[in-house]
Structure 1
Amino acid sequence: MATLLLIDSSVFPEGGSASRAVTAAFRKTWEEQHPDGTVIHRDLAADPLPHLDAVAASAGFSDPATHTPEQQAAFALRTQLAEELEQADAIVIGAPMYNFTIPSTLKAWLDQAIIMGRTIGENPSAKGKPVVVVASRGGSYAPGTPREPFEYVQNYLEAVLNGGFGLEVEFIVPELTMAPSNPAMAELVPLFETSRAKAHEQAEAKAKELVARFAA
């Protein structure tokens, strides 16, 4: 039975979040195709992780036998996050663009889950696992658009998820999500609707593809 690690970071609930709507579509299809599987869901908005501090950081670079009680507690969380990543067969991450980059809660998860010599390093412990990132954004930052230079979500996550964790990364990008609520973007609503529909189709297709891969 395959395990899906689902990470949501949007501050908005599913009804008001483009990224949550797509990750939910992925999960629904995954569970329909694989009802006996396991889903580990981390909602970083509802249950945020602490940002990495000196205690947690120093624990990652010292012998566990020498840890203080504070380091033991901090490193226990980091170990749990690493284990969730390692136990998952596939990962889905909702990463909406906030102020040109990822939510701080998602950055906190990454900082806590990155453990040198375990999850990153010469032989990352989750290397090769597929990760689907739902990178929603209010406008368009696609190649050739005026705001392309401000795209710091896909660029950053490709570097850390693939270059750091060694994961097999694929992006689903619902864009122009502000069009329905911003009068200045009214003419872009049809493009938004097309992008939204495509993102849901991609999520459902990818869920089926991954379930089939693990069932083979």
Structure 2
Amino acid sequence: MHLFRLDASIRVAGSVSRALADTAEHAWRAERADAIVTRRDLGLRPLPADAWTSLTRTRLDPSAPPAPEAAAALVTELGAELLAADAYVFGVPLYNWNLPAQVKTWIDLLLLHPDLGPQGDQPLAGRPAVLALSRGGGYGPGTPKEGWDHVTPYLGRILGEVFGLDLHVAEAELTLADVSPAMAPLRGLAAESLRNGHANAAAHGRRVAELIRPAA
């Protein structure tokens, strides 16, 4: 079996999204010790920001200079990584209330892929995935920043609806409480959210492994 893992945090030490993704991957590997894992780390190795621009400009404007061959090759490479996998773990933090720029670049390039884009036939449909999310603040109903989380609904649309993945979400909020004096009263809630996030990540990792278990 083949697992694809994406990380997007610009941090390694202290990254909550990476820690949640680790928990999901470890739970998966406990069920699938012989699995292949392909990794794409956008936080440490961002994709070239001009690849999508050059490719799209060429498609829209016949008079534009041809896009570099490397840009088209990158779309093929990124698509092949997803198409080769049986299941997925995506570790994504919320930055400035939105999607990290490096994740948006990755998605934009994937949507240029002939099979994965809007004109494709959803070859990933039904494959299971864990989405590990971290948010520095609180964005639930009744909070001052309710509705400011623009990551969770967007990724649900792209991964769950455009790509058709069977998406299982593990999330932790208030991750800045331990380092922000203004958030000190929320540290108990932050710790509870983190515990629940890891518990859900582990459960989802096991569940994803079970969903693709071959018939005996």
The alignment's TM-score, normalised by the length of structure 1, stands at 0.88
1:71-93: CA deviation from partner (whole Å, max 9, x where unpaired): 43211110111111111111111
The one-letter code matched in structure 2 to 1:156 is Y
State the distance in 2 between where 1:42 and 1:59 align. Answer: 27
The one-letter code matched in structure 2 to 1:173 is E
Structure 1 segments, 4+ long, off by >6 Å, are: none
Alignment check: 8 A CA contact 1:60 1:75 kept: no
- Report the counterpart of residue 87 of structure 1 in structure 2: 84
State the distance in 2 between where 1:147 and 1:72 align. Answer: 43
State the distance in 2 between where 1:116 and 1:82 align. Answer: 6
- Report the counterpart of residue 64 of structure 1 in structure 2: none
- Report the counterpart of residue 10 of structure 1 in structure 2: 9
Alignment of 1:125-140 (within 5 A): 125-140=123-138
Residue 40 of structure 1 deviates from its aligned partner by: 0.7
Alignment check: 8 A CA contact 1:22 1:134 kept: yes
- Report the counterpart of residue 107 of structure 1 in structure 2: 104
Aligned residues: 209
Deviates more, 1:137-146 or 1:50-59: 50-59
Residue 130 of structure 1 deviates from its aligned partner by: 2.0
Residue 98 of structure 1 deviates from its aligned partner by: 0.4
The one-letter code matched in structure 2 to 1:57 is T
Alignment check: 8 A CA contact 2:168 2:204 kept: no
Alignment check: 8 A CA contact 1:59 1:75 kept: no
- Report the counterpart of residue 147 of structure 1 in structure 2: 145
- Report the counterpart of residue 42 of structure 1 in structure 2: 40
- Report the counterpart of residue 56 of structure 1 in structure 2: 55
State the distance in 1 between where 2:59 and 2:194 align. Answer: 40
Instruction: Give the structure with the higher percent helix.
Output: 1
Q: Secondary structure at the match of 2:172?
A: coil
Residue 156 of structure 1 deviates from its aligned partner by: 1.1
Deviates more, 1:162-171 or 1:200-209: 162-171
Alignment check: 8 A CA contact 1:59 1:71 kept: no
1:124/1:183 CA distance change after superposition, 3 Å: same
Deviates more, 1:115-124 or 1:41-50: 115-124
1:54/1:12 CA distance change after superposition, 3 Å: closer
- Report the counterpart of residue 63 of structure 2 in structure 1: none
Alignment check: 8 A CA contact 2:111 2:118 kept: no
State the distance in 1 between where 2:174 and 2:42 align. Answer: 24
1:204 to 176, 181, 202: 202
The one-letter code matched in structure 2 to 1:211 is A
The one-letter code matched in structure 2 to 1:108 is T
Q: Secondary structure at the match of 2:96?
A: coil
State the distance in 1 between where 2:159 and 2:191 align. Answer: 29
Q: Secondary structure at the match of 1:30?
A: helix
Q: Secondary structure at the match of 2:47?
A: coil
Alignment check: 8 A CA contact 1:5 1:84 kept: yes
The one-letter code matched in structure 2 to 1:7 is L
Q: Secondary structure at the match of 1:149?
A: coil
The alignment's TM-score, normalised by the length of structure 2, stands at 0.88
CA RMSD of aligned residues (A): 2.1
Uncovered stretches (5+) of structure 2, i.e. residues with no partner:
61-65
1:54/1:180 CA distance change after superposition, 3 Å: closer
Residue 60 of structure 1 deviates from its aligned partner by: 7.0
